[in-house]
Amino acid sequence: MSQTTTHDHRILVVDDEPSIVDAVATALRYEGYEVEEARTGRQALTTATTFDPDLIVLDWMLPDVDGIEVGRRLRDRGYRTAILFLTAKDATENKVEALRAGGDDYVTKPFSLAELVARVQAILRRTLDESRHEVFRGDAQVALTATEFNLLRYFLLNPRRVLSKAQILQNVWRYDFGGNSNVVETYVSYLRKKLDACGPPLIRTVRQVGYMLDAERD
């Protein structure tokens, strides 16, 4: 899901290595994005407030406040800005930590600029415009009801996580339906039908557990 042009998207690039900031920012500007730069965690937090980016390319190892802490603070403040972490750490537990801190994706150093740009584009395709309740997949607008919109929003806030029907009921409807989970199945079916009309299937059923937004497919 995305806006119809890349020029609508603002990206904040944060890294303490000037060469990386320059290379990434230049590549993203070439793709048509509006880009701001930051070299420290504190500067990233300040710039995120004033620039209001759609996505932050965020280095894990920063000299003051590390990237994981920056991500946590932004999430704690209510920012839903997408975050792509950059790091030299490549162990599974590191990736899990990054995602738990609010990261949407994770790229290990050294990386190619082409791969990073592709990851950025993939994340922004999954971004929805909450202010106008508009959702795009590719260039196609997806018309959703308020409940379908809130359900999609919950999936987008929890990419790659298996969500149980009980979790979905609690977070989307804010109360349970006397243990009746049929409403979740019904609305997931509605949402799938609309999203799948514009591309490959995104929501995967995990048998006897729940559902997961399969972010790798978009």
| Nearest Cα to Cα of residue 187 among 169, 174, 201, 175 | 169
pLDDT attached to residue 146: 75
What pLDDT does 8 receive?
66
* Residue 90's pLDDT band (cuts 50, 70, 90): confident
Start-to-end C-alpha separation, the chain: 9
How far is Cα 200 from Cα 188, in angstroms, rounded to an integer?
Answer: 15
Greatest Cα pair distance in the chain: 57
Least confident of 80-89, 96-105, 108-117: 96-105
pLDDT at 144: 82
The residue length of the chain stands at: 218
How far CA 63 is from CA of 73, 128, 203, in Å, comes to 16, 32, 39
Quick one: tokens of 156?
Answer: 């987008």
Q: Which of 6-10, 150-154, 181-185 has the lowest mean pLDDT?
A: 6-10
Separation of CA 123 from chain center: 6
Split at pLDDT 50, 70, 90, the class of 3 is very low
Q: What is the pLDDT of residues 198-216, one digit of tens each?
A: 888 899 999 889 999 985 5
CA distances from 103 to 68, 75, 177, 183, 200 (A): 8, 10, 32, 30, 23
pLDDT higher than 60, residue 25: yes
- Is residue 40 predicted with pLDDT exceeding 80? yes
Does the pLDDT of residue 2 top 70, yes or no? no
The per-residue pLDDT of the chain, averaged, comes to 84
**Euclidean distance between CA atoms 65 and 43, whole angstroms:** 9
Q: Can you read off the two tokens belonging to residue 216? A: 């790798």
- Rounded to an integer, the average pLDDT of 42-49 is 94
Whether 73 has a pLDDT exceeding 80, the answer reads yes
More confident residue, 204 or 97: 204
3-class state of residue 71 by DSSP: helix
**Secondary structure element (H or E) that encloses residue 21, with its range:** helix 18-30
pTM (2 d.p.) = 0.60
What tens digit of pLDDT does each residue of 115-146 get?
Answer: 999 889 878 876 666 556 678 887 788 888 87
- Please state, in angstroms and rounded to a whole number, the distance separating the CA atoms of residues 63 and 72: 17
11 or 128, which is more confident?
A: 11
pLDDT at 129: 60
Any alpha helices (H) in 89-205, and if so which ranges? Answer: 92-100, 113-125, 146-157, 165-168, 182-196
